[in-house]
Amino acid sequence: MMRNAVHCGSLESERYWREEDLASLPAIPDAKALAIVQAMDEMLFVFCGSGDVLLTRQGMNRAQYDYLQALGYAFSTNMDTLRLETVESVPAQAALNIFELLGRMDAGQEPDRLIPEGALLEPFAVLPGTQEAVSRYKLLPTLPDEEIVRAVNTKSYSTAMRDRLGLPNIAVVVDSLEELLQSGQALLEKGAFLIKDEYGVSGKGNQLVDSERMLRRMAGHLESSRNQGKRIRFVLEPLLDRETDFSCQFQIDPEGRVTLLSAQQLVNKGFAFGESRSPQPSLLDKLDKEGYWETMHSIGRELHADGYYGEVCVDSMLLRDGSLAPLVEINARKSMSLIKHHVDRRFKQEGMHTCLIQVPLAAMGKVHYEELLERMEETGILFSLGAGEGVMPLTSSALQPLDPSRAAGSTKGKLYAALTYRSEDSKRGLIHTLDESLMRTGYTILR
Amino acid sequence: MQQKVIEIIAEIKEEPGLLQTLSGASDLTLDAALDSLQIINFILRVEDEFNIEVDFDTFDLEHLKSVDRFSAYVAGLAV
């Protein structure tokens, strides 16, 4: 019997895996950035089959829901924000991941009505609280142990995996300030290096060190954390001379069978605008020749031997000298690249290119998402079935997430969208018209 | 100091055009659109430039509301 699935998750998984006693690199707590990433869970609709349930933290915008139904997605979802009735503190609630939130909600609320008993839980990642949510809603768990998931997502696990597979390993794990300074000095003699947090993600938790002064500054910052009882553990890696970032998505079933799903290339244009697209044929050719896929299979086998199964995204790099760094890091969870792959699987047309883009935004006062969809339709760029080219928005509430501080003034948000286009020219045209539609609706583009 | 702060923002963003568009009233995360990683690198550059040290554990995001407010904060640390 095919069981329906319940899809939900917190895309900032690393935040919840991170142990509280780990010392952190300099960072600025940003509640607005957290609110955006929390609202990005809407994108998990791409994994929904017919009759599945999607639970999102903020609740999907009705116009977005109708648009997705018109594209053929047939899932049910909550329209209201998931919140605890009994917790008075909004920031305390914002600190919970979606499973902790679901596990603590009073009976009789929207999730109780939506979730069929005995459905399969399809999380973005296994987090603290996932098992509690499974028992609270009588879901079927075929999920790996939380502690195993936590362990295999550390940078030091990825580092050890290179040794296990006999891959070149340039990383050093440090467990004290003395080791950090000593190994850091040695690395600096050859050039700049990165200090990587155990649970760092792109754009957060990596610090570039290019001088002794910077090394001492980082050590000084960490010293005060250590004096407050925090544990030092980082991975140091020489800065690789990167040509291209790409990643491989695969799945490990509970019996250990590894299925490769896709590879996606990440293109950085400036700082705040990244996009993922299908790799160039020349890159795929290189991966075939250099045994890249076999390495991915081996990583899958080793992960399973350690007790993990489920989705995996391995980050890789092509370097300027033409060599491959197949294992930069293992992400034992679903991923943005997997989201891109699922959109492709459903909509990719012959002779068309696809990519996934993000547009950082700000808005003053209330902006109405449905007006954006209307404008996109009027200007002919809204993707529809049989339309060929177009822009398909993947997020609605993330454009103007609920501000946990409830401060007046501007809100920051993000639009994620999948583009289908024939040529680079037509892609530029789509992005230009999208930008205009966003601005005319009242959003400022932060790029 | 205001001018130097704007120069560092333009350098971090790799956008020389910001030298013309930013002013003392500009918000660092909205008008200058510094993201969280860029803010760290910006602050570390400012530390170097003005020979100060910021305590990241207690840093208040309010200091980023304008170039003038941030400059006043830095001036306070430099005393």
More confident residue, A141 or A299: A299
Residue A362: which H helix or E strand, with range?
strand A353-364
Q: With an 8 Å Cβ cutoff, are B40 and A271 in contact?
A: no
Nearest by Cα to A154 from A22, A26, A33: A22
Task: Quote the CA–CA distance of A34 and A29 in Å, as a whole number.
Answer: 9
B52 touches chain A (CB under 8 A): no
Q: With an 8 Å Cβ cutoff, are B14 and A224 in contact?
A: no
Task: State the DSSP code for A26.
Answer: S
Residues in chain B closer than 8 A to A28 (CB atoms): 36, 39-40, 56, 59, 61
Residue A325: which H helix or E strand, with range?
strand A324-331
Task: Quote the CA–CA distance of A75 and A46 in Å, as a whole number.
Answer: 10
pLDDT at residue A402 in the model: 83
Q: How far is B10 from chain A (nearest CA, A)?
A: 12
pLDDT at residue A419 in the model: 96
Distances in Å between the alpha carbon of A359 and those of A161, A271, A416, A427, B26? Answer: 35, 11, 6, 15, 21
CATH class for the region spanning A337-445: alpha beta
Q: Per-residue confidence at A71, pLDDT binned at 50, 70, 90?
A: very high
Residues of chain A with pLDDT > 70, as a percent, come to: 96
Q: With an 8 Å Cβ cutoff, are B35 and A221 in contact?
A: no
Q: How far is B15 from chain A (nearest CA, A)?
A: 10
Q: How far from chain centre, in Å, is Cα A217?
A: 30
Distances in Å between the alpha carbon of A159 and those of A119, A162, A329, A387? Answer: 37, 5, 8, 46
Residues in chain A closer than 8 A to B47 (CB atoms): 217
- Which tens digits make up the pLDDT trace of A51-62? 999 999 999 999
Nearest by Cα to A393 from A356, A436, A440: A356
- Which tens digits make up the pLDDT trace of A194-238? 999 999 887 678 899 999 999 999 999 999 999 999 999 999 999
Q: How far is A405 from chain B (nearest CA, A)?
A: 13
Size of interface A-B (CB pairs under 8 A): 50
A5-8 sheet: strands from edge to edge = A76-77, A53-54, A5-8, A120-123
Task: State the DSSP code for A140.
Answer: B
Residues in chain B closer than 8 A to A204 (CB atoms): 36-37
Q: What architecture (CATH level 2) is domain A171-238? A: 2-Layer Sandwich (3.30)
Q: With an 8 Å Cβ cutoff, are B61 and A410 in contact?
A: no
Q: Which of A12, A15, A28 to probe by mutation at the B interface, max B CB count within 10 Å?
A: A28
List of residues 6+ apart from A380 with CB closer than 8 A: A433
List of residues 6+ apart from A163 with CB closer than 8 A: A169
Task: Quote the CA–CA distance of B25 and B68 in Å, as a whole number.
Answer: 6
A284 touches chain B (CB under 8 A): no
Angle at A179 between CA A173 and CA B38, to 5 degrees: 70
Q: Which of A230, A271, A410 to probe by mutation at the B interface, max B CB count within 10 Å?
A: A271
What are the structure tokens assigned to B32, written together?
Answer: 């200058």
Residues in chain B closer than 8 A to A224 (CB atoms): 57
**A165: burial class by Cβ within 10 Å (0-12, 13-18, 19+)?**
middle
Residue A11: which H helix or E strand, with range?
none
Distances in Å between the alpha carbon of A181 and those of A26, A174, A188? Answer: 17, 9, 10
Half-sphere exposure of A434 (CA within 13 A, CB side): 25
Task: Quote the CA–CA distance of A104 and A92 in Å, as a whole number.
Answer: 13
- Contacts with B, A 1-40, CB within 8 Å: 26-30, 33
Task: State the DSSP code for A322.
Answer: S
| Region of poorest pLDDT, from A27-41, A56-70, A205-219, B1-15 | A27-41
Q: With an 8 Å Cβ cutoff, are B29 and A447 in contact?
A: no
Q: With an 8 Å Cβ cutoff, are A213 and B48 in contact?
A: yes
- Which tens digits make up the pLDDT trace of A259-280? 999 999 988 654 334 789 999 9
CATH code given to domain A242-332: 3.30.470.20
Q: With an 8 Å Cβ cutoff, are A27 and B30 in contact?
A: no
- Of A26, A213, A272, Cβ closest to residue B56: A26
- Residue that the structure tokens 């019996």 belong to: A255
- Of A221, A410, A446, Cβ closest to residue B56: A221
Distances in Å between the alpha carbon of A412 and those of A41, A107, A359, B31? Answer: 16, 33, 11, 12
- Which tens digits make up the pLDDT trace of B23-65? 999 999 888 988 888 899 999 999 999 999 999 888 988 999 9
pTM of this prediction?
0.93
A204 touches chain B (CB under 8 A): yes
**A236: burial class by Cβ within 10 Å (0-12, 13-18, 19+)?**
buried
| Domains in chain A: boundaries | 5-143, 171-238, 242-332, 337-445
- Which tens digits make up the pLDDT trace of A326-369? 999 999 999 999 999 999 999 988 889 999 999 999 998 889 99
- Is the pLDDT at A150 greater than 80? The verdict is yes
User: Could you tell me if A327 and A279 are in contact, meaning their C-beta atoms sit under 8 angstroms apart?
Assistant: no
- Is the pLDDT at A22 greater than 60? The verdict is yes
- Of A213, A217, A272, Cβ closest to residue B35: A272
Residues of chain A with pLDDT > 90, as a percent, come to: 80
Nearest by Cα to A355 from A265, A434, A432, A436: A265
Alpha helices of A230-335 — where are they, by DSSP H? Answer: 281-289, 292-305
| Region of poorest pLDDT, from A247-251, A437-441, B25-29 | B25-29
Residues in chain A closer than 8 A to B14 (CB atoms): 270-271
Q: Per-residue confidence at B79, pLDDT binned at 50, 70, 90?
A: confident
- Is the pLDDT at B68 greater than 60? The verdict is yes
- Of B14, B36, B48, Cβ closest to residue A28: B36
Alpha helices of B1-79 — where are they, by DSSP H? Answer: 2-13, 18-21, 36-50, 67-78
- Contacts with B, A 388-417, CB within 8 Å: 410, 412
Q: With an 8 Å Cβ cutoff, are B44 and A214 in contact?
A: yes
List of residues 6+ apart from A222 with CB closer than 8 A: A23, A25, A177, A180, A232
- Of A217, A225, A271, Cβ closest to residue B35: A271
pLDDT at residue A267 in the model: 82
A230 touches chain B (CB under 8 A): no
- Of A26, A33, A224, Cβ closest to residue B40: A26
What are the structure tokens assigned to A39, written together?
Answer: 């609202």
Q: With an 8 Å Cβ cutoff, are B61 and A28 in contact?
A: yes
Q: With an 8 Å Cβ cutoff, are B59 and A213 in contact?
A: no
A91 touches chain B (CB under 8 A): no
| Region of poorest pLDDT, from A27-31, A38-42, A108-112, A184-188 | A27-31
Task: Compare all CA atoms of chain A with the CA of B29 and give the residue at the minimum distance.
Answer: A446
User: Could you tell me if A157 and A41 are in contact, meaning their C-beta atoms sit under 8 angstroms apart?
Assistant: no
